[in-house]
Structure 1
């Protein structure tokens, strides 16, 4: 679920931080810049693990700050494909079951990846597994806040970098596109519970 990603960046340290040890100042700046942010094709950044290498610091004309190229390792959240995770149901919609891990909410289990057969209850706004037994069919509701075990089957990175002015030619038409893009999550996961042992923990409790 968590891994170490090696990265390189140039860190700018303001003059009033020159009294702070360089490693500490750089660590603080890296965490300000990256913590709880998604790096495209890397994952959700959690915290700095360590600094591997510091190159020479430079102060450029007209800028009193120091600039230091840093090679470091950062703890990131990026599950492996087919990894099994446990989260809680955040909500349900016709799109599927929305899962939260507490620190990460952009997880969807689509209808085709639920236990089958399943149906969406419009009144309760929940998905229901129509569990078949010898005695008949029992409705197992996927209620909000219930713990659920799921398999990670896909991940999606979206480049949410703002477009340049040259791309905004027709403001009336482009505004809608930009609003739609801004609502997209930069990193999301797709899960599945369509196999024995997966789904609500209460389903499989002995």
Structure 2
């Protein structure tokens, strides 16, 4: 789930930080610059792990700051494909389920990766899985015909175990510039911003989905 990424960057230390040890000031500056940021093709940066090397500080004309060429390692959130993680259901819609891990919310389980037979209950705003379908073909055509007591709901705030199927990085696109005399259009205001890093999960394999599904199954087998 977490990996170490080697990076090289020029770190700027302002004059007000000169009272601190150089390593401490650099450590803090790296965390301010990278923590909770997404780096393309790297992942979500969490914090600095360690410093590998550092040049002598150089002063550039005009600002009085010290600049260090630093090689360092960051702790990065980027789960491997096939890795199984445990999160919590944040929300659901007709397209699928959004999952949160507390520090990261851009995990999506598309409808096609929810076990079948499945259906979306608009009243409950939740997906459900039919555990013991009596007529697979009929239920596939209309899952909502299944009585509620026979549905295994994937409710909001429930813990959910999922398998990482893919991840995607999206470059931020520049939007229109709004200034004096320029209003934000309704179309632009309503357009959702695409997350810079998205994890795609699935729950179609045995043992995935709500942990309660499988604990109940184990109890039945024991009985």
Partner of 1:184 in structure 2?
194
Larger-gyration structure (1/2)? 2
- 5+ long unaligned stretches in structure 1: 166-170
Q: Determine which structure has the larger strand proportion and give its number.
A: 1
TM-score of the pair, normalised by structure 1? 0.89
Match of 1:160 in 2: 172
Q: Show the counterpart of 1:88.
A: 88
Deviation of 1:19 after TM superposition, in Å, equals 1.4
Q: Give the Cα separation in 1 of the matches to 2:191 and 2:35.
A: 25
**CA deviations over 1:133-184 (Å, ceiling 9, x no partner):** 579962111111111110000101011164698xxxxx99x99579747x11
Q: How does 1:170-181 map to 2 (within 5 A)?
A: 180=191
Number of matched pairs: 200
User: Aligned ranges for residues 115-154 of structure 1 at < 5 Å?
Assistant: 115-132=115-132, 138-154=150-166
Partner of 1:58: 58
Show CA shifts across 1:102-134 (max 9, x none): 100001111110011100001110001012257
Alignment map for 1:41-120 (pairs within 5 Å): 41-120=41-120
RMSD: 2.4
The alignment partner of 1:56 has SS state of coil
**1:53 Cα deviation (Å)?**
0.4
Q: Tell me what 2:143 maps to.
A: none
For structure 2, the residue ranges without an aligned partner over 5 or more in a row are: 137-145, 219-223
